[in-house]
Amino acid sequence: MFKVKILMEGKSKERWVVEALAEYEKRLQHKMQIEWILVNTSCSLKEKALKEPFLIALDIQGKLLSSEELSRSLFHKWGSRIAFVIGGPNGLCKEILSFAKEKVSLSLMTFTHQMVRVILAEQLYRATTIEEGSSYHK
């Protein structure tokens, strides 16, 4: 089973975010385990991120991937134990960006942290359905 950590600065108060994430975790429960790690400060985020063996930084200047490319990378390139890191209001520090094995952009647009979490969860689910050949992606 794939294990994915998602590290980020912030809080999880909005009900709609919690409900959306719970739905995608439910859909993924037999395929992928997601661990959400929320920290209060950018210093704590850096400390946790730099301990991850395969870190993927979500950064606006990262590589833009299609859903199919994300699926191929996830299942055939990156391995079954990965971590994504989402920056705080000021983005990610240089140390995290230098340390990350990959830098990926979800879009050239800017999203709230809450939206990034939901978009990433949906894309992880979509990646599994692409790998399985499901019609969800069509």
Total-model pTM: 0.93
- Number of helical (H) and strand (E) elements in the chain, helices listed first: 5, 5
The pLDDT assigned to 113 comes to 86
Q: Is the pLDDT of residue 117 over 90?
A: yes
Give the start-to-end residue ranges of the domains of the chain.
2-132
| The CATH fold of domain 2-132 | Alpha/beta knot (3.40.1280)
pLDDT digits (tens, 9 = 90+) for 47-63: 999 999 999 999 999 99
φ/ψ region of 133 (left if φ > 0, alpha if ψ in -120 to 50, else beta) reads left
